[in-house]
Amino acid sequence: MYRINPFIRIYEHEKVKALFNTLNLKTLYISQEMYEKILREPDKQLLEEKFVVNPNFNALDYFNECYPRQNDNSISVAYFLLTSICNFKCKYCFVESRIEKHDNALMSKETAEKGIQLLKRNVNQDNQTTIIFYGGEPFLNFEVMKYVVNRTLQLKMNVKFNVVTNGSIINQEIIDFIKENRMEVGISLDGTEKTNDQMRIDNNNKGTYKKIVSTISELHKNGINHGISCTISTHNLGKLDEIIPILEQFNIRGMGYNLPAENGNIVISEDEKQAMVKNLLEAEDIIFEKRIFEDRVINRRLKSFVEKKKWIKDCAGYGHQIAITPKGQVGICHGLWPDEINQKENTYYEFDVNYDGKITDHPIWQEWFNRTPFNMPQCWNCEAISLCGGGCAKNSFLRTGNIWNIDEDICILMKKVVPWIIWKYFDVKVKSEFNF
Ligand code: SF4
Ligand code: SF4
C-alpha cells in the first residue's frame, strides 16, 4: 500500500490541501477528492517526486539524499565595531553591557589597518565581502570608517559597505560619502513617535523619533535609498504595522523586523511571544500587499520557497563572518562582543587582529559552520527545517550555554511562517493559474 512520505506536511485551507515536502520545499496543492485518489492510485510523477511512497521507503536514506552539502566556507561578512560609544541608550540594547562600553572605546586606524589585513588574508577575492560598520554608533568614529573604506578600495579588495546607524548624526560630508561609496544604510526606527520613544531614547532621556525622521528625510532628499530596521519588543507589541505609513511616506522599499532582544531589562513572556508572532504576520500581510520587502523574516524565506532552494543558515555568523571590536579582539558574532554578564564564560572572542592562522580552520568557525537545523536532531522532524536557517546562535548560547540548542524565538515564529508562506504563494500564484 502506498502512503504519504513522512517528510510531507499537510496543511488545509478552504477545502484545499497543501502537501509540503519539508526536505525539498516542493508543494502540491490539491482538492480533497484528489487527495483521496492519490493514495489509491498515485500517478508516476507523484511517486517520482516522493509525495507518495511505497512500503519499502527508507526515511533515513531519503533524509541523507536531501541533506544539503556545503562547499563554500569562506568569510563573506566582516563587522567593524568602530566604537562602543553611543549617543542613544535604547533600553533593549545589547551593547549597553559591553565591557568596552565603559572605556568609551574607539577603534584606532592602526587596529583598523590590522583588521583589514586580517580580512585580506582570509577572503576569497572572487566573492564579494560585505563590510558592516557597527557600534555603538559607528558615525561617532567617522574618521576610521573613511579610513577602512579608502584603504580597502586602495587595496582593490572586492568589498561592499553597509552601515547600521541610529540616524542621529548626519551632515553633507556623510551624505556625500554614503553616495560616493554606494553604502547600504540601515536605520533603526520602531514605530510612531509615541511607540519609538518609549525605548529609543538619547543620553539625555529624550525621545529620538524626531531626529531619526529628520535624518530619513535628509537621505530621501539626497536620493539615498536605505532600509529601516524595526526591533520588536514590549513597546511595539501589537503595533508592528505602525511603521508602514512611515515607509510609504519616504518611499522606503526595504525593511526588516528584528526579533526581540532580551538584555536583562526586557523579558518577554511566552504569551507575549505568541501574540507578537500573530501581530507580525498581520503586519507582513499589509507589507506584502504594498510591495515592500521585509527581508529579515519573510522575503528571504519566500524566495527560497519559490526557488526551491533551502534556507539553511539564517546568519553569516555560521562560519562566514568575523567581528572586530574597537580594541582589536576578533570573534564570530558581533552580538557576543564580550560583556560583563558573560565575561567568565566562553565569549567566542579568542584571538585578535594579529592572528596569522586561517580563520575558517579555527575550531570555533568550524563548529559554527555546521550549525544548521540539518545537523540538529531536534529539528529533523520539523516542518521548517529547510526554511528556518536556525535563527540566532547567540540567543541559544546566552540562554542555554550551548549554541546547539534551539533558538526558541525563531522556533515559535517559523512554525507559523511556514504555513503563511505556503498559503500566500497559493493566493498569489496558484489559485488563479490553476483555477482553484
Ligand atoms: S548569531 Fe545571532 S547575533 Fe550573532 S550574527 Fe548570528 S543572528 Fe546575529
Ligand atoms: S529551530 Fe525550531 S523551527 Fe527551526 S528547524 Fe529547528 S525545530 Fe524547526
Ligand 1 centre from 117 Cα, in Å?
Answer: 24
Reported as a single tens digit per residue, the pLDDT across 281-329 is: 999 999 999 999 999 999 999 999 999 999 999 999 999 999 999 999 9
- pLDDT value at position 265? 66
Q: How many CB atoms lie within 10 A of CB 362?
A: 17
For a ligand 1 pocket test, name from 98, 258, 333, 395 the mutation site with the most ligand atoms within 8 angstroms of its C-beta: 333
Measure CA 230 to chain center: 12
What distance, in Å, lies between the first and last C-alpha atoms of the chain? 29
Measure CA 241 to chain center: 20
pTM of the predicted model as reported, rounded to 2 decimal places: 0.93
Q: All domains of the chain, ordered by start, with CATH?
A: 3-66+416-433 (no CATH), 77-307 (3.20.20.70)
Reported as a single tens digit per residue, the pLDDT across 196-228 is: 999 999 989 999 999 999 999 999 999 998 999
E strands, 238-320, are 254-258, 293-294
Reported as a single tens digit per residue, the pLDDT across 320-337 is: 999 999 999 999 999 888
Question: Partners of 29 in the beta sheet?
Answer: 18
389 alpha carbon, closest ligand: 2
Q: Enumerate residues lining ligand 1, CB below 6 A.
A: 315, 317, 333, 335, 392-394
Ligand 2 centre from 388 Cα, in Å?
Answer: 6
- Does the pLDDT value for residue 435 go beyond 90? no
Run of H or E including 434: none
Phi, psi of 193 (to 5 degrees): -55, -45
Question: Partners of 88 in the beta sheet?
Answer: 202
- pLDDT value at position 295? 93
Give 2 or 353, the one with higher predicted confidence: 353
Reported as a single tens digit per residue, the pLDDT across 101-142 is: 667 899 999 999 999 999 999 999 999 999 999 999 999 999
Take residue 381 and report the three cell numbers written for it. 522532524
Grid cell 511566552 is found at 270
